[in-house]
Every structure is written in C-alpha cells, then in structure tokens.
Amino acid sequence: MQTRIILNPAAGSAGKKVQALQALTEGRTDVRILESRERGHARLLAAEAAADGCDLVIAAGGDGTIHEVVQGLATAPGRPRLGVLPFGTGNDLARTLCIPDDPAQAVALIEGGGVEREVDLFRVESAGEVRYGINVAAGGFSGQVDEVLTDEMKATWGPLAYVRGALGALPDLTAYDTRIAWDDGELERVQALNIVIANGKTCGGGTRVAPAADISDGLLDVVIVRYGSLLDLAKVAARLLAGDYTESDGVDVRRARRVRVASRPGMWFNVDGELIGNQPVSFEVVPGALRVIAGPPTQTETAPAAA
C-alpha cells in the first residue's frame, strides 16, 4: 500500500516537523512526501495520489491544507484514507477527530492505525462553483473576521489570531436580512449577525461553535446568532468563551441535511477558514464520504448531547 504525505512547508515549527516526517518515512519505500507550492496545489496532489491508487493520504499542515486535500479526495475513486499531521495554528479538525496536537504523538497514532472512522463531508455550491467542507462553514460576522485576517496576523498571534481579527471587525457589525431554506422547503426570515454550518465542533483555534455537532451523524448543525444590541451580543460572546453560547436567547440551533442561505447585504462565508464569497449559498451533507484515521473518542465525544 502506498502512502503520500502532502506537506505545507510553511506550516509548523521546523524541528518538530522534520522529526515527525522522519519518523514516518525512515526506511520506508512506500511513503512519499510531496510539498504544496501554491494555493490549490495540495488539491491536485491529493487527487493524483488517489488516482495512483494510494491507500493513505496524509495532510501535513493546518486546517487550510486539510481543506485542500479534502477537495482532492471528496470525489476520488477508491476512497483513500485521510491522515492528519497537525502542523497548523488552529488544528480544529484534528481536535474534532481526537488527534493529538503533538506531531510525534500524531505520527504514533497513524503508525498504529488509530481508529478508522467514516465521516461526513458537506457539499457547498455558490455562484456556480462546488466545493466540499469537512469542519465548519461560517458567514456574517465570521466572514467579516476572515476578511481582516492576514497571514502576518496569523503568524504573530497564532491561535489568538481569530480573536484579534474579531476586534478589527467589531466596528462594522452588520445586520443581515437573511432567508434560510431548510430540507423540506420551509423558508425562514431572520435578522442575523452570524450563521454557522457545522459538521465539526470547533473553529478559530478551539472555539466551540457547535458543541453538539457530530461529524458522523449525517446531519449539519446550523447555528444562527440573531442581530441585537451590543449588550446582547456581548452576552452571547461571553457565553461563547464559556462554551455554552448556543443556550443564549439570541441563538437558534437546528439540524438539517440541506440548507440554503441568501441575505442582504450579501453574507461573506468561509468554508474551513477559506473565503468563498458573498453570494447565495447552499450546503448539503454527504454522509460517510471520507475514511479518516482518528484518535480514540474522549469522554466528551462519546457522551450524549444534553436534551
């Protein structure tokens, strides 16, 4: 069985990265390291690996690298397994999959086979373009944050970059007149500040935006933060930091297989941290679309959601 490691050379500390890659490749002729050179290159490398019959494709980088690799594997023949070496700053998918942050421990997990899971993806269509997400899509305030985030800010602030970006976006809070269509065609109109379409639980470096989401349940958790006064929103933000903001009066949570969002002004959405635009957008879950090597579930992961 052949293994390809798709490496983002800009991600992670050099020392830990070299040690982890050496541990995976030393004395192995069935493992190749391929470096992504530019945006979109990791997607092509993943698709080529699948076409070549590779059984395991390892994304070595952050959530952006994983997102690109997922694009290459989402419709690939043979369904190669996805492994993750978390070299990024946020590592939200690794957190959802119970993969250790420490690269050496992540290598040990991959070499030991871990726990193979079939996880859902979600298909995203907007302005005639189709892509796939694996973790979280967020629009509105989250999209505004992504607009002000820069690579320099991410490098300087690390996991706190999202918080720093939020401070930059606060003066421009927008009420979005939003229409949401659900599975059965029901249409809901809401004045929204933020909308999260969640397959995983966290984004922005560990912020629990959808605490009850299950990446393997065949459903998307849709979290709507309604527009309100700054005081109301401050209360929601405080509960977000505490991990229970979905219980706030100004927050609605629903589960769906399909959801379509259109708003005025256009709501900027990101998918797994990558901006996709501000046109009407639809999301549809693709159950069991990808095999991944995960860690053993924690007690939190296995505990049933509160009623």
The DSSP H or E segment spanning 192 is: strand 187-198
Active site residue 129: no
The crossing angle, in degrees rounded to 10, of helices 161-169 and 141-148 is: 110
Q: How many CB atoms lie within 10 A of CB 190?
A: 17
Among 2, 74, 7, smallest CA distance to 288 is for 74
DSSP category for residue 155: H
Distances (CA, A) of 297 to 115, 261, 294, 305: 9, 33, 8, 15
Q: How many residues does the chain have?
A: 307
The H or E element containing residue 5 is strand 3-7
The residue from 48, 274, 284, 301 that is catalytic is 274
**DSSP3 helix / strand / coil % (the chain, rounded to 5):** 30, 35, 35
CB within 8 Å of 75: residues ≥ 6 apart: none
**From CA 83, how far away is CA 262, in angstroms rounded?**
35
In DSSP terms, 286 is beta-bridged to 121
Q: Which two tokens stand for residue 306?
A: 């509160």
| Contact (CB, 8 A) for 46 and 21 | no
Q: What is the 3-state secondary structure (H, E, C) of 121-173?
A: EEEEEECCEEEEECCEEEEEHHHHHHHHCCHHHHHHHHHHHHHHHHHHHHHHC
Catalytic residues: 274
